[in-house]
Structure 1
């Protein structure tokens, strides 16, 4: 893969407020909820697929980037989440087969919908349709990314920053966990990884009451500004104040589902939501 500059993946607050989903009538709270929900699916499925954390992190960044270009009303959040996991597993050289991804998403849906876990028939028409949709959505994602899928995560900076600051190793795990949580927000499309890394290091230090150098300001050495660090902390604090994200049916393109029961109940809700 040829890596090029990724600066054009970063958006302003104004651009995010005028996202394709907002233009299609989805309010900020609903978009935030569905972004978190999709990222939760990516994280959970990655664990079930026994993928390294880097795969889930890459999948979540691709997920956010995609919905900065396309609307939640036109591309189903579950479909995009599954495709992002599948694509990220290949990008991070830990590939999983399409059937493995679909089986895991099938089990996850059964659990979330409190349905009995049934065998997913790999020869059924439904499975073939889901596999086709998975491939088609992956192509949409690649097209919207311009086939440039390079992702730089804040995690790689955390250890170096803490080592340079001479701080205790216990901050590393806390900062790492905060970096993982940050991927459920739009921080990855608003700030460079260096800024997010500084933000989570600062938040971890505050939580453990570890002082950081102020004179000169420690963040200056890492190409960050105090305003960016403060914003990272504010976004994380808001994330932790929210209840567990639940699925909200807003997509006009039908449901990406494995169960006829689930499909029937969700179709009623989406019709009501869109009227």
Structure 2
């Protein structure tokens, strides 16, 4: 796929491209299996985020790195297993988002998650210096592979700030228009929208749509689920306060349910 790694459009793929054109597909991995393995990665990353006590934005950064990596690398690659890639992305995202964690802490947490069915394997990292050394070297080599796959393009624009801005706009307009019911429900609306946004990182939405469109879609979905009618201001809806070009309506149920 042509283009510059530092171009936002380079990392934005259509559902057709994702279902037919990834490295895993060329390696004989079905789309369903790819979605399953990608979800295993995102689940590990989310659990590691909670255990390491880093921000949800860092979780989003790590998942985005991981999903981008597997556009051009097969999930069948035994050289760097998919859950090791996820571990590398956690370590890298913590550094990039200025929430650095010691390498040994990331190794310990992620090894426990990767080997939850065989806890003795994770325990060996604590008791066997040679196992610790091998795991450390594998993680550092994997980090280099992730960096190369990303073309050292580490800057990620996430939907979170756009969602905050949209919620602020909804609250301001509702207050100005005297829509007390909407104003009263802005906080639960925001809480649900952010939960939906977090869940969306278990899908391929971050590869398919702009951050603005994803934020708008999560807010609109939250409003629909809560039965909140979002205000209109001089004919402008909330998503028109940022440049989303109405792309929110193209974030379909198929996108948000994939994986």
Please give the TM-score of this superposition, normalised by the length of structure 1. 0.78
- Tell me, in whole angstroms, the C-alpha distance in 2 between the residues paired with 1:70 and 1:39: 16
**Kindly tell me: are residues 50 and 164 of structure 1, through their superposed partners in 2, closer, same or farther at Cα, counting changes over 3 Å?**
same
Tell me, in whole angstroms, the C-alpha distance in 1 between the residues paired with 2:147 and 2:193. Answer: 31
Shift of residue 218, structure 1, vs aligned partner = 4.1
Residue matched to 2:17: 15
- The residue aligned with 1:250 is none
Structure 1 position 120 matched with structure 2 position 125: yes
The answer on 1:220 being equivalent to 2:240 is yes
Decide whether aligned partners of structure 1 residues 119 and 20 sit closer, same or farther in structure 2, where only a CA change above 3 A counts.
Answer: closer
User: Whose helix fraction is larger, Structure 1's or Structure 2's?
Assistant: 2
Unaligned runs of 5+ in 1: 243-275
Residue 196 of structure 1 deviates from its aligned partner by 0.2
Alignment partner for residue 26 of structure 1, among 11, 26, 29?
29
Pairs within 5 Å for 1:49-64: 49-64=52-67
Q: 1:97 Cα shift? A: 1.9
Aligned length: 236
Contact 2:212 2:243 in 1 (8 A): yes
1:235 matched to 2:255? yes
| Partners of 1:35 and 1:64 within 8 A in 2 | yes
1:108 maps to: 113
Q: 1:133 aligns with which of 132, 135, 138?
A: 138
Equivalence for 2:86:
81
Out of 124-133 and 207-216, give the one that drifted further: 207-216
**Cα distance change, pair 220–233 in 1 and its aligned pair in 2 (3 A):** farther
Q: Cα–Cα, structure 1 residues 155 and 189, in superposed 2: closer, same or farther, change >3 Å?
A: same
Q: Unaligned stretches of 5+ in structure 2?
A: 1-5, 172-181
Aligned to 2:204: 186
| Aligned mates of 2:118, 2:131 — CA distance in 1 | 20
TM-score by length of 2: 0.83
Which 10-residue stretch deviates more, 98-107 or 84-93?
98-107
Q: Are 1:208 and 2:218 counterparts? A: no
1:66-94 C-alpha deviation (Å, 9 max, x unpaired) = 11121111141111000000000100111
Q: Distance in 2 between matches of 1:121 and 1:163?
A: 47
3-state secondary structure, aligned to 2:125:
coil
CA RMSD of aligned residues (A): 2.3
